[in-house]
Structure formats: structure tokens, C-alpha cells
Amino acid sequence: MPLSDPVHLRAAGVSLVLAAAEGALPSVVHWGADLGDTGPAELSDLCRAVESAPVPNDFDRTVIPSLAREHAAGWRGRPGLTGHRDGTAWSPWFRLTALDVDDRGAGRGGTILATGEDTAAGLALRLELELTAEGLLRQRATLTATATATATATATATAEQPGDGAPFVIDALTATVPVPPVATELLDLAGRWGRERAPQRLPFVVGAHSRENRRGRTGPDAPLILAAGTPGFGFRHGEVWALHVAWSGNHRAYAERLSTGAAVLGGGELLLPGEVRLAPGETYTTPWVYAAYSDEGLDAIAARFHTHLRGRRPQLPPRPVVLNTWEAVYFDQDLDRLTELARLGAEAGVERFVLDDGWFRHRRHDRAGLGDWYVDEHVWPKGLGPLISTVHDLGMEFGLWVEPEMVNPDSDLARAHPDWLLATGGRQPLPSRHQQVLDLTRPGAYAYILDRLDALLTEYDIAYLKWDHNRDLLDAGHGPHGTPSVHAQTHAVYRLLDELRSRHPRVEIESCSSGGLRVDLGILERTDRVWASDCIDPLERQQIQRWTAQLLPPELVGAHVGAPRSHTTGRTHDLSFRAGTALFGSFGIEWNLTTATPDERAELARWVALYKELRPLLHGGTTVRDDAYDPALAVHGVVAPDRRDALYALVQLDAPLTSVPGTVRLPGLDPDVTYRVSVQAPGDAPALRGQPTPWTTDGLVLGGATLARVGVRAPALNPEQLLLVRAQAL
């Protein structure tokens, strides 16, 4: 089949080769390992090399599915676009109208813009692809209902052309990337509140593995990444192709293998019935869908996302040590109490004091007040000024909690504007945490929230907003007819964040949602940190942070030292386990320090000092995770970009499998460099089952290759203990 001249973009070890069958939108010929510097002849032979021939009982000519995966063009999996115009135009087939390639050259990636039209269906499609410098492939599509359809696309059309002029209702518009037959396993993340982002693996068999989110927010069980790979792929090995949907509303990610053998990863926004209806001339644009490839396992996939995220706000100052008041005092706010907490925090080295939920009118508990964004005159008779001054005098920044998208029915706002709540069917949505969702697509509601937040940020010197969101969006209908509104609400939230950031560019924003339920690249385009989970039990956190790292670098992941006894699980842990876990994140404290002993506060200060000392390494290095031989023992670390310094944590999650611990590998070092390996105080004295392992007493000098291949003997740690290990180039 004649193809247009193939296009080859390269970046950071990744190649993307596209070609278009005559008149069609482009197809992906290859997305994966770098093919090197190919000339036109080799590229065209590559297209021939992968082309199939017709087989018995199938189409009479070869089918090359375009990026739009049109059913009409022979794609028998999920089409890229599903929808209809009053029952017509349901099977579009786009003809290429323009192809614009910007190859940045020198392995720096580039962009491809392809537009197509189906005049019979009255639809135009614009596909944008970018291979970023760090080797991420991202794509989005814009669908336009062109003015009128010139003909109806189905046999059901009558002479009156029933679909003509009617809106085109989009059911789904998704992006896909092909994966080769060697990718036989899938991995994605699931989870629940307090245990977000738990991995699950399954074989990639014929059929679809589809992850559909109807929570109206990203969710604890969002896939984060959906990866397909070679058998047994792990953190440090295997070929992996992965996908992430950069969207904070309803979304879908799927892996589909057809009986033809073709396989794709796909994803996009999940639209509710009738949610997007395009009148002639109207358009819909999908979220960006990111795809990453690696031939060295999941760490290399993570590294691409980390580099990308680090590039988006490089001017941000180092991530400060936070003290958050939530688990310290909950709703029990009082100037004297918080002043003492701030004083003890400053003594420990805290740099940012964050006043959590409970500071605004009527908010003495979680059943009232959301929406009334005025400082409570009873709790704070002189406003927040006195507390903020104290915090500043102690040398810390001040941060404030808000939950702008939510309303308690028991609030002045809900009483004044009952019609400002999202609802449908003539009923109130099921209450959740006693709250409902404010319809931010209503200009009055949007203006009120923008005005209140703007007023607070203008009146007070606030460096940071912790932006919370504590319920799923059910029955999220926009009045007066209760039409589905998660799509529009998500855009309104993004607009609100963008507008506030442009008015207050120095204010940082944390994305929190019942803990870690809004973690995605859509929200991270406009926020600076996520709260990874409401569970700060370090044992749970080891897993949550390990897998949140699949997308986010440590400095974007809020990680706090809680009280000795976890408020969410009831488990009790040593301070070294709590702090050594929080160290590998955006470090903070969420503990009522007035109840801590002087010894505990002194030890905490030592951990804060270590965090500050190692912050450039922790927040600028490469995250590494080992494929441990024993699931009870996890190894992870951060290696400096020049690989001359690294910090590892050897984490005993559970009782070990073997009586004598095995060796653990320290990955990511320069194989040609010799390192001094030693334990790192204050993470050097975990509770042991037996004698200290010899090397932990006075260190070792070993090459990077030996440390990666042989490793070191793990100490016999008691369960729920960790040891910090430093490797520094000689």
C-alpha cells in the first residue's frame, strides 16, 4: 500500500516512526527503541518490513490502522472516536488534509500535526503528537463538528438527512499507541483511600483490560501508568511501554489485544452520556495522553516522567520542611496552642507551617462550613495575622488549607445558593463526608470562590495553599436540567487554578484529595506538590511512595513524619522508620510536637538536618528501586545525576523469608567508579535481630559494577526498620 514519506523522530533513546497510507491519517510504524540515524531508504524498507499481507477470510487488502483507529478503515478494536449525530455519522473515516512535521533534530524529538476530515460525517480531526526531549510521547486530539455534513454516513439516513445540523455527541475520543507482540504482561496500579497506588499484574491476553474512572477525580485506584512489557519486567529490567492520561476528571486507560494479534495501549477522558455534544463549528479537545518506552524497566520509565516534571517549574526554591497541623490538632485550633507547635517546629528546623482544615467560619467539625471562606471570628478574633506573624518571626513561611470545590449543605453559601451545587434527577447527590460539590461552571459560584481565595492571598502573606478535594463526583449535573458536568467542572477547576496562579505567581499549591486521590499530570501542570496519602504510617507509605514514584519525582510527593502511633492504622513505629521513610519525599512533620519528648524532638531535628543537607541529591537525583529477591526487603534510593553520590534505604517491610539475610544490590551507580559505602546517620541504628553485619561497622570500598551485581549483605533488620546507606565516589 503506498505510504507517504515516513517521518522519524528521535529523543533520549526512543524512536517514533510514522507513515500514512495514501490519503489516510498517519499510522505508527514503530514506537520504542531508538533505531539510530536512518536514511529515507531504510525507513521505507522498515515500513515494508512490518507490513502484513491479506490473509484468508479477511479484508482483501492490507489494513494499516491510523492513529484514529477508524472502524471503517478495518480496525476491529475500540475505535479512536465513537459517537454519533442523531444516529448518523457513527463510523467516520478521516482523509488526511495536512501533515506538518517539526523535527527538532539532533535527537531532541519534535512535533507532528496531522489533520483529517470526513466530509460525509461532517467531522474534522486534528492530532497533535510530540516526542519530548526526555523521550516521552504525548498526544491529544481535537474534534470539530464541521458546519454541516454533506451527506449522512449510514444507510439509515433518509432524504431529509436526520443527522444534519444536529449536534455530534461524542462517546469517546481516545489516543492509542501500539505495542509489539513481545509485550505479554500488563502492570498498572489500583488501591483505595489510605492505600493508594497498589500494583497489580496480569497477562496481556486477547480482549481488553479497561480501567474506567467515574469518580470525577483522579482516584486512589487510578492506573497512574498502564504498562505492557516483556515477561517479568521489573524496575531495572525488561522492555516496557507505558501510558498515562493527564486528566483529573473521569478517565479511561485500556490495554487491548485483538485476535489479529495487534495490541494497543489507549486512554483518554471518560465522557458521561451526552456530556460533550458538538454543535456545528464547536470543538472538543482531549487531555494529553503520555506514553513512555524503556528497555531497562520501570525505573527508566519513571526517569522520563521525572525529568519532564522537573522541567516545568525549574525556578522553584528547594522543597521546604513542612509542619502540617492536621494530625497534630485536627479542628482544635487555638492561637496559643498553634504558637507552641510552631515554636517547637521551628526548633526542629521546620521551614513552612501549614494551617490545615478548621480556620474558617462554622468549621468546628467536618459537617459544616465548607464554602464559607472567611476567617472564623470566634476562633481567630484578630484574624490569622497574629499566627502568621509568629510563624514569620520564627523564620518560617505560612501555608493555608482550602477546599474550594466543595460545600457543606450546612453553610451560609449553600443556604444562600442551593442551586449552586452539582446535582441531577431532582435530588441531592449521596452525601460524602457531609459535603456536596460546588458547580464551578456557574459564573457566580466561580467568581465567588476566585474572589475569596484572591482576597485571602492578598490580605495575608501566604506562600502555599494546600488545595483539598474530599469527595467523588456523583450525579454531577449542571442546572437547570442536570446535564452531566464532570468535564466542564474539571476545566473550571483548572481555569481557577490557572487564574489564581497568574494573580499570585509566587504562591505554591499542593494537590490533595482525601490524601492522594488527585495525582496526575493534568493537575501537576498547575500544582507543585501532591499529598500522597492520608495514611502516614511509614509501612504503608513505603509502598505508596514506591509506586507514586512511577510518575512523580520525590520532591513532588508530600511525605510527613507522624506520631509514633499511626492515626490511620494504629501501628506504632520508631522515629527512624517514620523519618527515614519521609526523607525520600517532600519532607514534613504532622505530629503534635508538644507531646513529643525532648529526646524525640532532638532526634527529629537530626533527620531534618539530614534532609536539608541531602536535599540537592534527594530532589535532583535519579530514583532507583531494586527488584529484591525477598518481597519483605525493599531497596530504593536516589543517585546523583553525575553518579558520584547516592543514598539508599534498605527497608525491612516484614519478617524475612530466610534466617540469614541475602545480599542486596545497590543499583544505578557508575560501573567504572569506586565508592565508599557506609551507613548514614541518623538512619544507621535500626533494631536488629542479630549482630551487626560486618560492613555496616566501618564501611567498604567497592566499584559501582560490583555494588550493582553482587551488592552487600543485608543486615538482619527487625520488621518495620530501615537502614540508610550512602555510596560516595572516591
Binding residues vs ligand DGJ (CB under 6 A): 326, 356-357, 401, 468, 470, 512, 514-515, 531, 534
Of 534, 574, 626, 645, the catalytic one is 534
- From the CB of 687, what's the least distance to ligand DGJ, in Å? 30
Shorter beta-carbon distance to ligand DGJ: residue 195 or 306: 195
Q: How many residues does the chain have?
A: 730
- From the CB of 343, what's the least distance to ligand DGJ, in Å? 22
Which sign, positive or negative, has the C-alpha torsion 567, 570, 575, 577?
Answer: negative
Shorter beta-carbon distance to ligand DGJ: residue 514 or 696: 514
- From the CB of 516, what's the least distance to ligand DGJ, in Å? 8
Shorter beta-carbon distance to ligand DGJ: residue 195 or 236: 195
Distance CA 405, CA 403 (A): 6
- From the CB of 461, what's the least distance to ligand DGJ, in Å? 21
- Annotated catalytic residue 599: no
Instruction: Find the residue with minimal CB distance to ligand DGJ.
Output: 357
Shorter beta-carbon distance to ligand DGJ: residue 75 or 360: 360
589: enclosing H helix or E strand: strand 586-590
DSSP assignment string, 484-538 = E-HHHHHHHHHHHHHHHHHHSTT-EEEE-BTTBS--STTGGGS-SEEE--S---H
Of 221, 357, 372, 468, the catalytic one is 468
Helix axes 598-620 and 575-582, enclosed angle (nearest 10): 20
Residue whose C-alpha cell is 509566587: 506
Q: Say how many CA atoms lie within 13 Å of 365 toward its Cβ.
A: 4
Cell numbers describing residue 327: 494530625
- From the CB of 357, what's the least distance to ligand DGJ, in Å? 3
- From the CB of 432, what's the least distance to ligand DGJ, in Å? 12
Shorter beta-carbon distance to ligand DGJ: residue 518 or 625: 518
- From the CB of 515, what's the least distance to ligand DGJ, in Å? 4
Query: What 3-state DSSP class applies to 139?
Result: strand
Q: Say how many CA atoms lie within 13 Å of 705 toward its Cβ.
A: 3
Shorter beta-carbon distance to ligand DGJ: residue 401 or 577: 401
- From the CB of 279, what's the least distance to ligand DGJ, in Å? 40
Looking only at Cα atoms, what is the longest distance across the chain? 89
Shorter beta-carbon distance to ligand DGJ: residue 351 or 468: 468
Residue whose C-alpha cell is 519534535: 110
Distance CA 634, CA 647 (A): 14
Burial group, residue 48, by CB count within 10 angstroms (0-12, 13-18, 19+): exposed
Listed in order, strand segments (DSSP E) in 104-239 are 110-118, 123-131, 137-145, 168-173, 175-178, 185-192, 195-203, 207-213, 226-229
Query: What 3-state DSSP class applies to 651?
Result: strand
Cell numbers describing residue 432: 460524602
588 CB neighbour count, 10 Å cutoff: 28
Shorter beta-carbon distance to ligand DGJ: residue 70 or 468: 468
- Annotated catalytic residue 528: no
Distance CA 60, CA 324 (A): 66
Catalytic residues: 468, 534
